[in-house]
């Protein structure tokens, strides 16, 4: 599943490709639903849309328009591609037809993504219980550390909880915990305050570096032009089970945490 860095890279890529004027002449749906139904208010089905900006909240793309908000979540396998001429392929579900003649196409083989309309951002149901973004001042507040240290869950589960903080998926949870030297299965209550404070900074740095590296292309993720990310080449533990730790040479371990594969070094992560 694309995580925050991949979605942010895609956001920047799409925003740089906005036509001038940034006007969608028609939105086409080629399936009845993804995770939720694909539909627009009747009055807007044939409307043109002026895109004012493309934002992001957690792993959602936000198309800010003159009519309201269009949100897109890539689900497990979704991606957007930009085409000069429309060439539909299997699993194409949403097409944004621009006045300029370009097409932005959303493809999703597993149909677990989301594409929805809301009159304003405060109405988006998916955002009501999200925690702070890693690049905000709120994320660096003591309240976040207290929240992490008040839980008896495994620290990896805590930082992947979108109500605690957003954007830390399975890949970057493993990577950040290795860089911070914290065992992913240790209870949040047992991680010292100083270590937890450092973990937040490491999470932020890890995500920023992943964005600079174009994200991680593990399976389906590609940029709007079809290019793959490069950060997977810099993973220190994720996907490296059975290989030597880059720091101490110990064999990297793998074990499930809440059903997700978790990678760690038993020597470097105490």
Average pLDDT over residues 247-263: 91
Q: Which domain holds residue 174?
A: 138-264
Measure the CA–CA gap between 193 and 121, rounded to whole angstroms: 35
Inform me whether the pLDDT recorded for 107 exceeds 80. yes
Residue 270 placed within a domain: no
Question: Using one digit for the tens of pLDDT, what is the confidence trace for 133-185?
Answer: 999 999 999 999 999 999 999 999 999 999 999 989 999 999 999 999 999 99
Percent of the chain with pLDDT over 90: 86
Identified catalytic residue from 35, 204, 230, 260: 260
Measure the CA–CA gap between 49 and 14, rounded to whole angstroms: 16
Inform me whether the pLDDT recorded for 219 exceeds 80. no
Confirm if 187 and 153 have CB atoms less than 8 A apart: yes
Domain identity same for 26 and 73: yes
Question: Using one digit for the tens of pLDDT, what is the confidence trace for 192-214?
Answer: 999 999 999 999 999 999 998 88
Q: Identify the CA nearest to 170 among candidates 74, 237, 233, 125.
A: 237
**By CB neighbour count within 10 A (0-12 exposed, 13-18 middle, 19+ buried), where does 201 fall?**
middle
Domain count, the chain: 2
Domain boundary among the residues 104, 127, 150 is at: 127
Question: Using one digit for the tens of pLDDT, what is the confidence trace for 40-96?
Answer: 999 999 999 999 999 999 999 999 999 999 999 999 889 999 999 999 999 999 999
Domain identity same for 227 and 252: yes
Element (H, E) at 82: strand 79-83
Residue 133 placed within a domain: no
Inform me whether the pLDDT recorded for 127 exceeds 90. yes
Q: Provide DSSP, 116-173.
A: EEESSGGG-GGGTT----TTSTGGGSHHHHHHHHT--SBHHHHHT-TTT-SS--HHHH
Query: So what's the pLDDT on residue 217?
Result: 56
Domain boundary among the residues 105, 127, 149 is at: 127
* Count of CA atoms in the C-beta half-sphere (13 A) of 261: 10
Domain identity same for 105 and 150: no
Identified catalytic residue from 11, 56, 59, 156: 59
Residue 132 placed within a domain: no
Q: Residue 6 CA to chain centroid, in angstroms? A: 6
> Can you give the pTM of this predicted structure?
0.92
Measure the CA–CA gap between 216 and 213, rounded to whole angstroms: 8
Measure the CA–CA gap between 260 and 171, rounded to whole angstroms: 10
CATH of the domain at 209: 1.10.8.50
Inform me whether the pLDDT recorded for 218 exceeds 60. no
Where do we find the tokens 């059903």? 259
Active site residue 260: yes
Residue 209 placed within a domain: yes
Active site residue 59: yes
Domain identity same for 27 and 120: yes
In this structure, are strands 114-118 and 92-98 parallel, antiparallel, or unpaired? Answer: unpaired
Query: So what's the pLDDT on residue 172?
Result: 94
Active site residue 17: no
CATH of the domain at 64: 3.20.190.10
């Amino acid at each position: 599943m694309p995580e925050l860095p991949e979605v942010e890279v895609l956001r920047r890529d799409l925003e740089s490709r906005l036509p001038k004027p940034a006007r969608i002449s028609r939105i086409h749906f080629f399936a009845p639903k993804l995770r939720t139904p694909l539909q627009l208010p009747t009055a807007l089905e044939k409307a043109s849309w002026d895109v004012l900006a493309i934002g992001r909240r957690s792993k959602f793309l936000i198309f800010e328009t003159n009519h309201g908000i269009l949100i897109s979540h890539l689900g497990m396998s979704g991606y957007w591609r930009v085409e000069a001429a429309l060439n539909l392929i299997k699993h194409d579900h949403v097409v944004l037809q621009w006045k300029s003649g370009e097409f932005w196409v959303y493809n999703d083989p597993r149909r677990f993504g989301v594409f929805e309309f809301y009159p304003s951002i405060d109405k988006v149901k998916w955002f009501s219980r999200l925690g702070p973004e890693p690049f905000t001042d709120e994320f660096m507040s003591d309240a976040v550390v207290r929240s992490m240290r008040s839980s008896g869950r495994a620290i990896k589960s805590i930082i992947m909880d979108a109500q605690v903080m957003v954007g830390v998926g399975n890949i970057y949870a493993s990577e950040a915990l290795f860089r911070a030297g914290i065992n992913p299965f240790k209870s949040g209550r047992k991680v010292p305050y100083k270590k937890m404070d450092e973990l937040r900074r490491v999470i932020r740095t890890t995500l920023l570096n992943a964005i600079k590296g174009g994200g991680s292309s593990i399976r389906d993720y590609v940029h709007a032009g079809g290019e793959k990310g490069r950060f997977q080449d810099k993973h220190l533990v994720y996907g490296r089970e059975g290989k030597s730790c880059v720091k101490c040479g110990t064999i990297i371990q793998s074990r499930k945490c809440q059903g997700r594969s978790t990678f760690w070094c038993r020597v470097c992560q105490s």
